[in-house]
Chains A and B, each alone.
Chain A
Amino acid sequence: MTTTIPTPLALIAELTHRCPLHCVYCSNPLELQSRGLELSTEVWSRVLREAAEAGAMQVDFTGGEPLARPDLVELVRAARSAGLYVNMITSGLPLDERRLADLVNAGLDHLQLSFQGLQEDAASEIAGTRALEQKLQVVRWARAHRVALTLNFVIHRQNLDRLEEMIAFGEESGAGRLEFAHVQYYGWAFANRERLLPTRDQVERSILLLQQAEARLRGKVRVEYVAPDYYAKYPKACMGGWGHKLMLITPTGDVLPCHAAQVIPGLRFDNVKNKPLREIWDSSEAFQKFRGEDWMQEPCRSCDRRTQDFGGCRCQAFLLAGDPAVTDPVCTLTPRHLIVEEIIAAANAASPEVPAAKPDWLYRPNPA
């Protein structure tokens, strides 16, 4: 069976790994790249054109912190002139009103601002620095400059009991969209999982609250949430399928099928400095490896759900079961689900306030 090559919908551009925050659940890899190795403005501009030519509709400028790039305004302009919808995912640091106006004038379509919570001390413990005041300022500037705003609350064991407060704040903030994302366990979050993984009660209560908020605010504020997949019955359709909709480019130009793909041993990535993006998307070994269904094993191979969830997440299969080609252990249809059940049992044995065995956070550093 041959696998047809789909059209990419969006490009996730990790412009830099530098970031003023040190979040304990950062999705960046444990091995961060330094400034000296980052792609130049010229290469990014070419890559943005190539992404649009390959069919992509949107670019997500992210990092690290994309604002750490002094050429961000120029890159926004390049993306817009390539015909892309320009989304920026940011901590809001370092930003001032003038620079926000410059970004909007250059064509920024949508700003996605992350929140660690609304309690200064608790949020600072997660971010490893104080950032809340500045974020509140960015919300006011975004409203003044009429830029579409999403507030992204990252939720986990330590802040789930304050979910109502986040919903109420988001509702009055002027943001058009609220995203509540349960931490996903990759990168730094995998290292800090014991202190982040919620209890079943917390999860069930949060889903109920978010469903109610979604219904109550419909037509006024969009409420969307990412469910915690360790507690799910079936795995998430990770990235909408491997090499199916999305691609990610690292600060140094490696093209990845997802944020975490570098954890999979032996997977080789092509770099935009050496090949056109379209060629990489179509034929690079990393994209072809788990594209389509040929790689699937049982129970996925004969499962009706394989066209919906694509076997779940390859990186999670490797992180939890040691093999990227098996069914995501989150799936209750695989015997490997026992791995997840054990993790969940441990998370529910301890009370939410008291972290289990691990006393200290592993903070993400800011690379040079």
Chain B
Amino acid sequence: MNPEKHARPRLAPGCRLSEPNRAPRMLQMPERALRLNGPSLEIVERCDGRHTVQQIISELQKIYSKAEPERVEKDILGYLALLQEQQALEFTVEDAAEQK
């Protein structure tokens, strides 16, 4: 299932990016790790509890401006769903009144 676009993902407890001075960059989780390349690293770096899913999509559409925007969006939603299945993410959703 795809995450809501106004939700703000952040990494779950026990999940974090490996140190920037160590290559390759990894998303480390309890007893497993995911290797991150360009776009996946860009996504995970924005799972900070501040960016909404929509903001992540917009920022990556700018970075990868040569790619089709719909394709970028689909890939991001797919990757977030994968991270969610890995229990690597928590989503916070503010109620509408607070957003105004």
Contacts and interface: CB of A to CB of B under 8 A. Distances in A.
Contacts, number: 53
A148 B12 contact: yes
B26 to A, nearest CB: 7
Contact of B16 (A109, A177, A218): A109
Interface centre among A83, A146, A148 (most CB of B within 10 A): A148
A226 to B, nearest CB: 12
A219 B87 contact: yes
- The size bracket of the interface on A is 20 to 34
Contacts of B22: 52, 57, 83
B19 A83 contact: yes
A110 B30 contact: yes
A206 interface: no
Nearest to B28: A85
A87 B14 CA distance: 9
A221 B22 CA distance: 30
A147 interface: yes
Given A87-B30, A109-B28, A110-B30, A146 B87 contact: no
Given A57-B18, A83-B18, A219-B84, A150 B31 contact: yes
Interface in A233-271: none
Interface in B6-57: 12-16, 18-19, 21-22, 26, 28, 30-31, 33
Contacts of B13: 146-148, 176
B85 interface: yes
Contact of B14 (A57, A110, A218): A110
Contact of A148 (B15, B18, B21): B15
A58 interface: yes
A222 interface: yes
B87 to A, nearest CB: 6
A222 B30 CA distance: 10
Interface centre among A58, A83, A85 (most CB of B within 10 A): A85
A147 B13 CA distance: 6
B30 A148 contact: yes
A342 B15 CA distance: 45
Interface centre among A83, A112, A176, A221 (most CB of B within 10 A): A176
A93 to B, nearest CB: 21
A222 B29 CA distance: 12
A64 B28 CA distance: 25
A271 B87 CA distance: 39
A168 B1 CA distance: 26
B21 A83 contact: yes
A218 B28 CA distance: 19
A57 B15 contact: no
A277 B16 CA distance: 26
A86 to B, nearest CB: 10
A85 B13 CA distance: 13
B25 to A, nearest CB: 11
A58 B18 CA distance: 10
Contact of B31 (A146, A147, A177): A177
A176 B87 contact: yes
Interface of A: 52, 57-58, 83, 85, 87, 109-110, 112, 146-150, 176-177, 218-222, 224
Closest 7 CB pairs of A and B: A148-B14, A83-B19, A85-B28, A148-B13, A110-B30, A110-B14, A146-B13
